[in-house]
Amino acid sequence: QVSLVESGGGSVQAGGSLRLSCAVYGYTYRGYCMGWFRQAPGNEREGVASIYTNTGSTSYADSVKGRFTISQDSAQRTLYLEINSLKPEDAAMYYCAAAPFYPTCTVAAGTARLFTYWGQGTQVTVSS
């Protein structure tokens, strides 16, 4: 059974940092596009970063470039999202997701439908 389990969220002051983790269970991990998405109350789900597991190639939403870093430990089947210089607008539920057969591997608008497996999310709160 496929399962993605996020952790690492919390309440942080603006300007602070967090590292989110996503442990993957139940499938091979390799050959998938892995993405991080976020959704704040009243907002649409937004893709923030992606990594193609076979190559390590990454992509980011413009809103997070330079502050967010996606990485992976393939041996541990774990995905990470390092978030620096947190802003109040970064507050959201953060989800990791996996997409098979998607080597292009971006999280641009409209790509969420390509991600088959989703975690339950981890909450990030930012205080100013």
Average model confidence (pLDDT) for the chain? 95
Residue 74: count of CB within 10 angstroms of its CB: 13
Residue 122 has pLDDT above 90, yes or no: yes
Tokens 């269970």: give the residue. Answer: 25
Quick one: pLDDT at residue 26?
Answer: 87
Tell me how many degrees the CA angle 22-120-12 measures, rounded to the nearest 5: 70
Average pLDDT over residues 3-14: 97
Say what the pLDDT of residue 73 is.
96
- Give mean pLDDT, residues 36-60: 96
pLDDT of residue 47: 97
Average pLDDT over residues 62-80: 96
